[in-house]
Structure 1
Amino acid sequence: MIFARIKWLYAVIVIFTGMTLMITIFYFVPKPYAQKISAWFIRLLVFVPVKVHGAPDPDAQMYLINHQSEMDIGIMETITSKNLAWVAKKELFKVPFFSLVLRLPKDIALERESKTALVKLIKDCKDRLDQGRVITIFPEGTRTETGKMKPFKAGAKMVADKFSLRVQPVVLIATAYHFSNKRKDFHPGTVHAIYLDSFIADKSDPEWLKNLQIKMQKVYDDELANHPCYR
């Protein structure tokens, strides 16, 4: 138990140091290298290689990713060269220190339970798209460590439909097994990331987001079946 806590604490220190590195170098390197360097720093020091399945679409304008662990953002930053614009709940932009990690690269704050939140979300996403960035969303809206994805929230579909975006789903496999703040647990090892085929958002199809969740869950379950260590 003590050794497990020491491993977790080591990972926390590495993550904190990586975020500090990103903040420190942000104005000294071209965009988006500060985020990429920080993410690679963390990945290499916590010994988490990533095996990528499928291929990123060079024309993707939005990534939709399942969310289990605090490591997910760093993993995604290292498997694409794109300048990602993360959508995160507004409360995180108020957290001391961590808020700088979101504010410096001008990630997108989403205010929940607000009538004007989706209007602002669409406006901010249009601004980032005009800058050539890729809108990146955890459509579940929060982490879940059960392996069962929560229902995808409508915001991602509204943005994708509004601008007819090319959407590429990405399924990360059991990242909570490797790092969990909730359980205070850390296991080095290979993470599997699966790029699914991209598609153009079709606002005439009211069910595409729901159907995508079902598809991503099946991909997750099928991949998990090949890795008994996660069960």
Structure 2
Amino acid sequence: MIFARIKWLYAVIVIFSGMTLMITTFYLLPKPYAVKFSAWFIRLLVFIPVDVKGTPDPEAQMFLINHQSDIDIGVMETITNRDLAWVAKKELFDVPFFGLVVRLPKDIALERESKTSLVKLIKECKDRLDHGRVITIFPEGTRTETGTMRPFKAGAKMVADKFNLKVQPIVLIATAQHFSNKRKIFRSGTITAIYLDSFTADKSNPEWLNETQLKMQQAYDNQIVSLPQYHSTRA
């Protein structure tokens, strides 16, 4: 137990150091290299290779990603060279120190259950798209460690429908079994990331977001079957 907590503490220190690195190099490196550099710093020091399956779409304008762990962002930043604009809850932008990590690269704040915030979300997404960035969202809205995805929130669909975006879902497999702040665990090892087929948002289909969730869940379940090291952890 003590050794496990030491490993988790080591990972926390590496993540904190990576964020510090991003902040200190942000104005020294061309965008988005400070973010990528810090993400690679974290990934290499916590010994997490990533097995990428599927084909990234260079024309994708929105990524939808399931969310289990604090390392999900770092993993995603290292498997694409695209400039990602993360949509995150507004409260994170006000947290001391960490707020700089999301404010400096101009990530997008979302105030939940606020109609005025949705207008601001649309405006900020338009600005990031105009600058060639990829709107990147955890559509569940929060982490879940069970492997069963929560219902996707409507914000992603609203933005994609508004701008007729090309959307690519990405499924990360069991990242919470590698790092969890909730359970204070860290385990090195290979993470699987799956790029699913991209598609253009169709506002005439009110169910496309729910259908995407089902496809992502199916991809997750199909992959987890081939990874016996995770079978005992699936809730």
TM-score, reference length from structure 1: 0.99
Match of residue 159 from structure 2: 159
Match of residue 76 from structure 2: 76
Match of residue 21 from structure 2: 21
AA at the equivalent of 1:171: V
Runs of 4 or more, structure 1, over 4 Å off, are none
Alignment of 1:56-67 (within 5 A): 56-67=56-67
CA–CA separation in structure 1 for the residues paired with 2:174 and 2:99: 26
CA–CA separation in structure 2 for the residues paired with 1:161 and 1:214: 19
- Confirm whether residue 119 of structure 1 aligns to residue 119 of structure 2: yes
Displacement of 1:46 after TM fit?
Answer: 0.1
Match of residue 180 from structure 1: 180
Deviations 1:185-224, CA, capped at 9 Å, x for gaps: 0000000000001000000000000010011000000100
Percent sequence identity over aligned pairs:
78
What is the aligned-residue RMSD (CA, Å)? 0.4
AA at the equivalent of 1:203: K
Displacement of 1:85 after TM fit?
Answer: 0.1
Match of residue 189 from structure 1: 189
Deviations 1:101-143, CA, capped at 9 Å, x for gaps: 0000000000012121211111110000000000000000000
Displacement of 1:228 after TM fit?
Answer: 1.1
CA–CA separation in structure 1 for the residues paired with 2:114 and 2:204: 26
Match of residue 4 from structure 1: 4
AA at the equivalent of 2:11: A
CA–CA separation in structure 2 for the residues paired with 1:11 and 1:187: 9
Deviations 1:143-167, CA, capped at 9 Å, x for gaps: 0001000000000000000000000
CA–CA separation in structure 1 for the residues paired with 2:65 and 2:220: 11
Length, aligned pairs only: 231
- Confirm whether residue 138 of structure 1 aligns to residue 121 of structure 2: no
Match of residue 198 from structure 1: 198
- Confirm whether residue 168 of structure 1 aligns to residue 168 of structure 2: yes
Partner SS state of residue 59, structure 1 = coil
Structure 1's unaligned 5+ residue stretches are none
CA–CA separation in structure 1 for the residues paired with 2:222 and 2:20: 37
- Confirm whether residue 207 of structure 1 aligns to residue 207 of structure 2: yes
CA–CA separation in structure 2 for the residues paired with 1:118 and 1:209: 18
Displacement of 1:176 after TM fit?
Answer: 0.2
TM-score, reference length from structure 2: 0.98
Partner SS state of residue 51, structure 2 = strand
